[in-house]
Amino acid sequence: MTNKGLITVFAVLFGLVSLYQLSYTYLANKVEDEAATFAQSKFSKDQPKERAAAEVAYLDSVAGNPIMMGIDYKTAKEKELNKGLDLKGGINVILQISVKDILKGLANNTKDPAFNQALDAADERQKDAQETYLESFYASFEALDGENNLASPDIFFNKNLEDDIDASMSNNDVKTVIDRKIDESITSAFEVLRKRIDKFGVTQPNIQRLGSSARILVELPGAKDVERVSKLLQSTAQLEFWDVYKFEDMFGFLQQANGKVAELEAAKSPANEAADEEVAETVQDSTATEGDDISELLDGEKVDESNDDVEKQNPIFFKMVSQGFAGRPVLGTFQVKDTASINAYLRMPQVRALLSQEQRFTKFVWEKPVDVEVVRDGNEETLTTTGLYAIRGNREMTPPLSGGVVTDAAQTYDQFSNVAVSMQMNGKGAKIWEEMTKNANTNGSQIAIVLDDIVYSAPGVTSPGGIAGGRSEITGDFNITEGQDLANVLRAGKLPASADIIQAEVVGPTLGAEAINSGMISFLIALALVLIWMIFYYGKAGAFADVALAVNILFIFGVLAGLGAVLTLPGIAGIVLTIGISVDANVLIFERIREELGKGKSQKDAIKDGFQNALSSILDANITTALTGIILLVFGTGPIQGFATTLLIGILTSLFTAIFITRLFIDSYTKNGKPLHFSTGATKNLFKNVNINFLGKRKMAYIISGILIALSLGSLFTNGLNQGVDFVGGRTYTVRFAQDVDAPTVTKDLIAQFESAEAKTYGGNNQLKITTKYKVDETGADVDQEIQSMLYTAVKSHLPTGMTEEEFKGDNDDKVAGIMEYYKVSPSIADDIKKDSFWAVFGSLIVVFLYILLRFRRWQFSLGAVAAVFHDVLIVLGVFSLTQSIMPFSMEIDQSFIAAILTVIGYSLNDTVVVFDRIREYFNDNPSWGFGNVINKALNSTLSRTLNTSLTTLIVLLCIFLIGAESIRGLIFALMVGVIVGTYSSLFIATPVMYDTVKKKAADLLLDKKEEEVEA
297-306 pLDDT, tens digit per residue, is: 444 444 444 5
Residue 1014 has pLDDT above 80, yes or no: no
pLDDT in tens, 933-947: 888 888 888 888 888
pLDDT category, 1009, cuts 50, 70, 90?
Answer: very low
Q: What CATH code is assigned to 400-494?
A: 3.30.1360.200
Question: How large is the average pLDDT for residues 652-676?
Answer: 88
Q: What is the pLDDT of residue 972?
A: 84
Using DSSP's 3-state secondary structure scheme, residue 843 falls into helix
pLDDT of 682 > 90? The answer is no
CATH architecture for the domain at 730-824: 2-Layer Sandwich (3.30)
pLDDT, position 831: 75
- Work out the mean pLDDT of the chain and round it to a whole number: 80
Q: Exposed, middle or buried, 47 (CB in 10 Å: 0-12/13-18/19+)?
A: middle
Other C-beta atoms closer than 10 Å to the C-beta of 524 total 12
Looking at 153-162, 589-598, 976-985, which range is the least confident one?
A: 153-162
Please state which of the ranges 62-76, 381-395, 771-785 shows the lowest mean pLDDT: 771-785
Q: What pLDDT score was predicted for residue 832?
A: 75
Give the range with max mean pLDDT: 194-198, 401-405, 558-562, 616-620: 558-562
CA distance 1013 to 1015: 5
Q: What does the pLDDT read at residue 270?
A: 55
Burial class, 217, CB count within 10 angstroms (exposed 0-12 / middle 13-18 / buried 19+): middle
> pLDDT tens for residues 727-761?
778 888 888 888 888 888 888 888 888 877 888 77
Which of 84, 9, 40, 12 has the alpha carbon at shortest distance from 567?
84
- How far is residue 624's CA from residue 395's CA, in Å, rounded to a whole number? 65
Q: What is the pLDDT of residue 888?
A: 74
% of the chain residues with pLDDT over 90: 9
Q: Are strands 82-83 and 566-567 parallel, antiparallel or unpaired?
A: parallel
Using one digit for the tens of pLDDT, what is the confidence trace for 246-264?
999 999 999 999 999 998 8
Closest-CA residue to 513 (of 810, 811, 88, 222): 88
Topology (CATH level 3) of domain 511-718+832-1015: Multidrug efflux transporter AcrB transmembrane fold (1.20.1640)
Reply yes or no on whether the pLDDT at 284 is more than 60. no
- Give, to the nearest 10 degrees, the angle between helix 639-656 and helix 540-563: 130
Tally the C-alpha atoms within 13 A of residue 153's C-alpha that lie toward its C-beta: 0
Q: What is the DSSP letter of 698?
A: H
This prediction's pTM: 0.68
Instruction: With CA atoms as reference, report the closest residue to 592 among 662, 681, 697, 672.
Output: 662
Query: In Å, how far are 8, 559, 562 from 14, measured between CA atoms?
Result: 10, 9, 11
Residue range 335-349: mean pLDDT, rounded: 89
205: amino acid identity, one letter: P
Instruction: Spell out the alpha helix ranges (H) of 426-494.
Output: 427-443, 480-492
Q: What is the pLDDT of residues 683-718, one digit of tens each?
A: 887 777 788 888 888 899 999 999 999 999 999 899
Parallel, antiparallel, or unpaired: how do β-strands 82-83 and 471-475 relate? unpaired
Nearest alpha-carbon partner for 986 in 895, 918, 932, 927: 918
Ranking 248-262, 629-643, 892-906 by mean pLDDT, the lowest is 629-643
Residue 439 has pLDDT above 90, yes or no: no
At residue 65, the pLDDT reads 86
How much of the chain, in percent, has pLDDT values that exceed 70?
Answer: 89
- More reliable by pLDDT, 642 or 184: 184
Q: In whole angstroms, give the CA distance from residue 220 to residue 226.
A: 10
Confidence of residue 1006 (pLDDT cuts 50, 70, 90): very low
Nearest one of 654, 637, 512, 513 to 580, comparing CA atoms: 654
Of 905, 836, 902, 903, nearest to 868 by C-alpha is 905
pLDDT at 883: 87
Return the exposure string of 407-427: e unless at least 16 CB atoms fall within 10 Å of the residue's CB, then b.
eebebeeeeeeebbbbbbbee
The reported pLDDT for the residue numbered 371 is: 80
- As a whole number of Å, the end-to-end CA separation of the chain is 25
Tell me the average pLDDT across 402-423: 82
Task: Give yes or no for residue 275 having a pLDDT over 60.
Answer: no
Taking the domains of the chain in order of start, what are their residue ranges?
Answer: 4-80, 94-198, 245-395, 400-494, 511-718+832-1015, 730-824
Identity of the highest mean pLDDT range in 107-111, 269-273, 329-333: 329-333
Helical residues (DSSP H) of 769-858, grouped into ranges: 781-795, 805-809, 827-856
Q: Which carries the bigger pLDDT value, residue 359 or residue 689?
A: 359
Task: State which amino acid sits at residue 989.
Answer: I
Identify the pLDDT of residue 272.
Answer: 43
Q: What is the per-residue burial (b if ≥16 Cβ within 10 Å, else e) of 72-85?
A: bbbbbbebbbbbbb
Lowest mean pLDDT across 371-375, 660-664, 784-788: 371-375
| pLDDT of 374 above 50 | yes
Give per-residue pLDDT as tens, 531-585.
898 899 888 999 999 999 899 989 999 998 888 877 777 777 777 777 777 788 8
- Round to whole Å and give the CA distance between 515 and 519: 6
Tell me the per-residue pLDDT of 142-169, one tens digit each, with 9 for 90 and over: 888 877 888 888 888 887 787 788 888 8
CA–CA distance, 67 with 73 (Å, rounded to integer): 7
Q: For residue 501, give the nearest of 264, 197, 782 by alpha carbon.
A: 782
| 705 Cβ contact list (under 8 Å, min separation 6) | 871, 985, 988, 989
Q: Stretch 594-613: mean pLDDT, rounded?
A: 87
Instruction: Decide: helix, strand or coil at residue 838.
Output: helix
Q: Is the pLDDT at 906 greater than 50, yes or no?
A: yes
